[in-house]
Chains A and B, each alone.
Chain A
Amino acid sequence: MAKVVKVQTEFEGRFYEETIVVEGTEVEPWAPEQPLKLVGRPVPRVDGPEKVTGRARFTHDVRLPGMLHGKILRSPHPHARIKRLDTSKAERLPGVRLVLSHQNAPEIPWFRGQTRLFDTTVRYVGDEVACVVADDEETAEEALRLIEVEYEPLPFVVDPERALEPDAPRVHESQPNNLVNGEPEVYERGDVQQGFAEADVVVEGVFRTQTALHNCLETHGSVAHWDGDSLTIWDSTQHVFGVRFQLARALGLPLHKVRVIKRHMGGGFGSKNQAGKYAAIAALAARMTGRPVKIVLDRFEENLATGNRPATIQTLKLGAKRDGTLTAIFHKSILNAGAYAVWAPSASGPTKRLYACPNVRTEDWAVFTNLGPFSAFRAPGYVEGTFALESMMDELAKALGLDPLELRLKNYAEIDPITNKPYTTKGLRQAYERGAQLIGWAERAHTKRARSKGPKRVGFGLASQIWGGSGGPPAYALVKLNPDGTATVVTGTQDIGTGTRTALAQIAAEALSFPLDAVEVELGDTQWGVYAPLSAGSMTLATVGPAVRAAAEDAKKQLLDVAAQLLELPKEGLRVEDGHIATPKGERLPVAEVLRPLGNFQIVGKGARGPNPDDKNVNTFGAQFAQVEVDVETGEVRVEKIVAVHESGRVVNPLTIRSQLYGGVIMGLGYALLERRLDDPRRGLPVTPTLETYKVLTVADVPEIVAEMVDLPDPEANPIGAKGVGEPPIIPTAAAIANAVADALGVRVYELPLSPDRVLAALRGAQAKKDEEEGEEGEAS
């Protein structure tokens, strides 16, 4: 029976009180030592053949008869009022079918009413002003240039510290202090003042992190098609059910009249967690023109308007006893949220939870500015916060004369410091141990001496990570058994490139005791699928996997019932083995043969995700180690090797999990060394919105990466014993590299990316300080 309960859930590193419906299908967890046939095997991706042949259909690839193309006109001003808008010339261009703007579109609130689908005030360069719908993209683009807009520029602010000053321009009239939610988010445990008073050593630093752009290779986009009063949307999204919900509400439609489909997508990384305006615009335009409408953003728009990892300024202060025991942590983070925000990532997450420390105070200040709004980006807040925290931990180790690893072990949290609950599993100690072994941590002093030559300095660094990734209810699945011994798994989740289809196929086949190729997984469609939440927060597998397993177990139970009656044997003695019914007499009959008398029919197994344990914390952990070589003459940082060891419960597929680990590390590497959006503060204009100017790593930039899992099945977390792994590998990468650079140079770079100019500036700063000190000493003597 469905039960409604209030729970604390965790998503993207934040806790929320939620009312959820739980429909417990009780399934015995797979025990850690239980031998499994398919789960845990390096099964190649089930959609591999589609993807390597070009058959895989992405939203970009959807073409419908009579389809029109939309192009969006965006604000060139960071803040302005639209005084006059004339679309008549654009409308007269042959091939143009519709121009949508505030003049003819319904007033649909967006970003919880902070703006509208087409607002008359624009608040960042890239804000939507109008949309041309035409026979082809070229015509739509031409027509954009014919739209006349007269803007009244308004005062704007792009620097978050400036935005916090009392006389700063307001991004939203209704928010006088420019703070998202009107106030900072403060967390406190113990007594921080007292904690610092007890400390033998206190270290403090200010860290800055850059704005990073997702740059999914498939840009955001939708295709909308109406059939009578039913709307179908193909959307490049991480949440088909979310887009359905949002669009139904925006357009005033009942949920069952909206269908959202996403078969394959070219990356999301958090930027596709919600419906974009383009989807609603496409739907409106399709209704008004009576033809399907496709809107696909170009790279430039993608980098202006679809989100980013917001820049932060973080002040961090640690106090510790001489033996390394932390006595107090203070962490203040200012985050540049951009023009609109319905939530804000918290850079202080790791500070609150990674180490056992009795006295902690954190402040998160999320600030509105006239820049493009942020969105979730692979472990939002945690990547930035871990950079600051783990850098500071190394400074503390240095001040105390302790090995960085020893300092971390000294403050190892045996229970969660926020909830005071034990963890279901915590494999961080194993990750440290294995990682240290793989990088040669104990021998590093020798390696450094041997490898540092001329201007090249070699250094080693490490960083740890904690993340959620527990997943949780609600999520549902069906397993349909066909009379020929094949099965279809149906659920409304989506594979965003992580290998969800493959892992779910493995789980279903395992639970059914069917061969893998007898199982097909259908997802990414709200019409077929039963509800599943968004694919984000590293939670898809741990959320949907248990529901799929429960559905498969249910189907298997029914199959055995049916088989027992058909074979006139007691059900207790029957088993399913590799797609066969095994009888106590040792017979093995193919399922198809057993079911033949029933002709054409189907067994439908149903499963739901049960609740998480409420007396334990479910988290994921990891440690990464970096070996770098820094050239003190050019300032160039070359990463020679990264070791990443993570614990996320049971490994369902060692092949695809390695892809995720590599992917996270590589994205983190780009963030550490290269990626940054540059903005022109005088014009409020991002100046790096292309892949020419915003650098992401190529294959040539990738060093040796050793990635391993601590395979620690977690039966208390959920019945499949797996937790998430999508985000963990990006979290500690930049921090480990920054620590290795500091180790190589003897001075720290407090700002990301670790670009040559900053390395050289840090070296110069250290030299100047040394000269000054020597000068003072000279004077004194």
Chain B
Amino acid sequence: MAKAVRAEPEPELEVPVPVRGPERGPIKLRVNGEKHELWVEPRRTLLDALRDDLGLTGAKKGCDEGTCGTCTVLLDGKPIYACLRLAIECEGHEITTIEGLAQGGELHPVQRAFIEEDALQCGFCTPGQILSVKALLDENPNPTEEDVRRAVSGNLCRCGAYPHIVRAALRAAKGLAERPGR
């Protein structure tokens, strides 16, 4: 649980930790490079804050308990399950959602590769898959198939797009590597 909800400030602290909640209060989030101020209860998950308060519905709620990966977003570039984080925990961090990936109307190479390899069917798991792949490629531009499998193993796909997802990730890696200026 978040440390900020402690009921009483600990005595040795000179400056008391501000008590927040259970009522709604203000929190500040940075999402896709933009600042947002929200007025929510401390129990609000990051996923609900994104979907319901900010209208960023690209991250999906497949389980709300950390077992499916459809809610995957990037926190400081690392993939996390947004349903397992409280929004207040994410203050001061940079959050990237699927809506923040395409730049100036240009799809991100991972997004393009997902279309070209048909790495999706219903598309419900797709935003999460793409963000997991993006995080991998940011860290390891030259992944093996095994690396890809590990990177998306926390993202279920009930439609079974897995073989195409792996191919899309490898295709995107290749495309990124061949990009001028890299």
- The residues of A that contact B59 with a CB separation of less than 8 Å are 54
A659 to B122, CA, bound (A): 11
Q: What 0/1 readout, one digit per residue, does chain B (104-124) give for beta carbons within 8 Å of chain A?
A: 000100011011101011111
- Given A49-B107, A497-B121, A699-B166; A691-B57 close (CB under 8 Å): no
Q: Is the CB of A499 within 8 A of B121?
A: yes
Interface membership of A410, Cβ < 8 A:
no
A219 to B70, CA, bound (A): 12
- The residues of A that contact B63 with a CB separation of less than 8 Å are 298-299, 690-691
For chain A, residues 675 to 722, give those with C-beta under 8 angstroms from any C-beta of chain B: 690-692, 696-700, 702, 705
A138 to B112, CA, bound (A): 38
Question: Closest Cβ of chain A: how far from B151's Cβ, in Å?
Answer: 9
A744 to B62, CA, bound (A): 38
> Which of B5-13, B74-82, B85-93, B157-165 lines the interface with chain A?
B157-165
Q: Is the CB of B160 within 8 A of A667?
A: yes
Q: What 0/1 readout, one digit per residue, does chain A (42-65) give for beta carbons within 8 Å of chain B?
A: 001101111111111110110100
Q: Is the CB of A45 within 8 A of B118?
A: yes
**Which of B115, B160, B166 is A663 in contact with, Cβ under 8 Å?**
B160
Interface membership of B64, Cβ < 8 A:
yes
**Which of A54, A136, A219, A702 is B99 in contact with, Cβ under 8 Å?**
A54
Q: Is the CB of A663 within 8 A of B124?
A: no
- Given A60-B57, A690-B63; A44-B160 close (CB under 8 Å): no
Q: Is the CB of B123 within 8 A of A497?
A: yes
A659 to B164, CA, bound (A): 8
**Which of A218, A665, A700 is B62 in contact with, Cβ under 8 Å?**
A218
Q: Is the CB of A49 within 8 A of B121?
A: no
Sorting the interface of chain B by its residue count into under 10, 10 to 19, 20 to 34 or 35 or more gives 35 or more
> Which of B125-133, B135-143, B174-182 lines the interface with chain A?
B125-133
Interface membership of B144, Cβ < 8 A:
no
Q: Is the CB of B43 within 8 A of A138?
A: yes
Interface membership of A80, Cβ < 8 A:
no
> Which of A260-268, A393-401, A551-559 lines the interface with chain B?
A260-268
Question: Closest Cβ of chain B: how far from A682's Cβ, in Å?
Answer: 26
Q: Is the CB of A48 within 8 A of B115?
A: yes
Interface membership of B149, Cβ < 8 A:
yes
Q: Is the CB of B68 within 8 A of A51?
A: no
Q: Is the CB of A53 within 8 A of B102?
A: yes
Q: Is the CB of A61 within 8 A of B57?
A: yes
**Which of B51, B55, B126, B162 is A52 in contact with, Cβ under 8 Å?**
B126
Q: Is the CB of A699 within 8 A of B152?
A: yes
Question: Closest Cβ of chain A: how far from B5's Cβ, in Å?
Answer: 15
**Chain A, Cβ-Cβ closest to B130:** A52
Q: Is the CB of A659 within 8 A of B121?
A: yes
Question: Closest Cβ of chain A: how far from B68's Cβ, in Å?
Answer: 6
Interface membership of A662, Cβ < 8 A:
yes
Interface membership of A537, Cβ < 8 A:
no
Q: Is the CB of A217 within 8 A of B125?
A: yes
- The residues of B that contact A219 with a CB separation of less than 8 Å are 62
Interface membership of A655, Cβ < 8 A:
yes
Q: Is the CB of B118 within 8 A of A44?
A: yes
Interface membership of B101, Cβ < 8 A:
yes
| Residue with the highest number of chain B CB atoms closer than 10 Å, among A266, A658, A663, A699 | A699
Q: What 0/1 readout, one digit per residue, does chain B (15-57) give for beta carbons within 8 Å of chain A?
A: 0000000000000000000000000010100000001100111
Q: Is the CB of A696 within 8 A of B121?
A: no
- The residues of A that contact B97 with a CB separation of less than 8 Å are 54
Question: Closest Cβ of chain B: how far from A747's Cβ, in Å?
Answer: 30
A691 to B62, CA, bound (A): 10
For chain A, residues 4 to 48, give those with C-beta under 8 angstroms from any C-beta of chain B: 44-45, 47-48
Q: Is the CB of B162 within 8 A of A699?
A: yes
Interface membership of A178, Cβ < 8 A:
no
Q: Is the CB of A54 within 8 A of B120?
A: no
- The residues of A that contact B60 with a CB separation of less than 8 Å are 58, 60, 217-218, 266
Q: Is the CB of A266 within 8 A of B120?
A: no
- The residues of B that contact A655 with a CB separation of less than 8 Å are 118
**Chain A, Cβ-Cβ closest to B112:** A52
Interface membership of A327, Cβ < 8 A:
no
A579 to B78, CA, bound (A): 47
Q: Is the CB of A659 within 8 A of B62?
A: no
Q: Is the CB of A696 within 8 A of B127?
A: no
Q: Is the CB of B160 within 8 A of A662?
A: yes
A691 to B61, CA, bound (A): 13
Interface membership of A216, Cβ < 8 A:
yes
Interface membership of A545, Cβ < 8 A:
no
Question: Closest Cβ of chain B: how far from A575's Cβ, in Å?
Answer: 32
Question: Closest Cβ of chain B: how far from A66's Cβ, in Å?
Answer: 14
- The residues of A that contact B153 with a CB separation of less than 8 Å are 698-700
Interface membership of A664, Cβ < 8 A:
yes
- Given A61-B57, A215-B158, A216-B158; A660-B98 close (CB under 8 Å): no
- Given A217-B62, A698-B156; A51-B163 close (CB under 8 Å): no
**Which of A48, A666, A705 is B114 in contact with, Cβ under 8 Å?**
A48
Question: Closest Cβ of chain B: how far from A46's Cβ, in Å?
Answer: 10
Interface membership of A612, Cβ < 8 A:
no
A666 to B163, CA, bound (A): 10
Q: Is the CB of A51 within 8 A of B156?
A: no
Question: Closest Cβ of chain B: how far from A124's Cβ, in Å?
Answer: 22
Interface membership of A458, Cβ < 8 A:
no
Interface membership of A75, Cβ < 8 A:
no
New A-B contacts (19) at CB < 8 Å, excluding given A45-B115, A58-B60, A217-B122: A49-B115, A52-B114, A53-B111, A54-B127, A57-B57, A58-B57, A63-B52, A63-B57, A217-B125, A264-B124, A266-B60, A299-B62, A497-B159, A655-B118, A662-B161, A666-B160, A666-B162, A691-B68, A698-B156
10 interchain residue pairs of minimum CB distance? A54-B58, A266-B124, A497-B122, A666-B160, A51-B123, A663-B160, A48-B115, A54-B98, A691-B67, A61-B57
Chain B interfacial positions (CB closer than 8 Å to A): 41, 43, 51-52, 55-65, 67-68, 70, 97-99, 101-102, 107, 111-112, 114-116, 118, 120-127, 130, 149-150, 152-166
26 pairs across A/B with beta carbons < 8 Å?
A: A48-B118, A49-B115, A50-B123, A51-B120, A52-B114, A52-B115, A53-B101, A54-B57, A54-B59, A57-B57, A60-B61, A136-B52, A217-B68, A299-B64, A497-B159, A659-B164, A662-B162, A662-B164, A663-B121, A663-B159, A664-B160, A665-B160, A666-B162, A692-B65, A698-B162, A702-B163
